[in-house]
Amino acid sequence: MKDQLISNSKSKPHINGMPYSEQTYWQLMAAEYEAHVAQIGKQQPNAASTNASKCIRCGLCCYQYPCIPRPEEIEPIAQYLELTTLDLINKYMVINTADCKVYFLRWAKHGEEDITGKMIPPARTFDRGYCVFYDQKSRSCCIHPIRPQEARVIKCWEKNNGMDKSLWGITGWNSQDILRFLPDFSPRIYADNKYLPPKSSMPPRKY
């Protein structure tokens, strides 16, 4: 089904510089991931779905997408873990982007330890797994006392929670911030790997 939809879209024009077939591919990948997360949500109901008035430590938010620390939050977290900032990045973080203009650091997921300290390959965009700092056994965050602002403001049981984009970690990054942590970083080295068609892409990890 996926291959058929992509094949049917090949003749359609580019949209915002991206071939229609490429847009279709990523839309399908995103839809598959959202469906997967919805299934996880049924297995592990969150506070919102159980009418709770506080966090029930279900871990769903830590599974859906690891939070993004703002640039100024990274060094204090490294100090809390008694690591250098570079060691924190190389051990627990991946480089990501939402628009190929601003690059940021986010927590890796369990299963992404092989790419920590590096740019996440496009084919791994929808890797499945909990945030590397989420402890499934205790159902808690290993850096809870100093967790990023984005993690502090997530309250799924509150109406319209998460609608204020100014509180999102990603909005704290600009195009130069990544160079503060990785002075030699250049997105050009990933130009040839910007898009991987379905037949050659690595399927999302399953847990």
Band (17; pLDDT cuts 50, 70, 90): low
Average pLDDT, stretch 62-69? 89
Average pLDDT, stretch 169-179? 95
Give, as one character, the DSSP assignment of residue 149: H
Q: Which of 133, 144, 132, 139 is nearest to 59 (CA)?
A: 139
- Lowest average pLDDT, out of 48-57, 95-104, 167-176, goes to 48-57
Residue with tokens 């892409």: 201
Band (202; pLDDT cuts 50, 70, 90): very low
**Whether pLDDT at 189 is above 80:** no
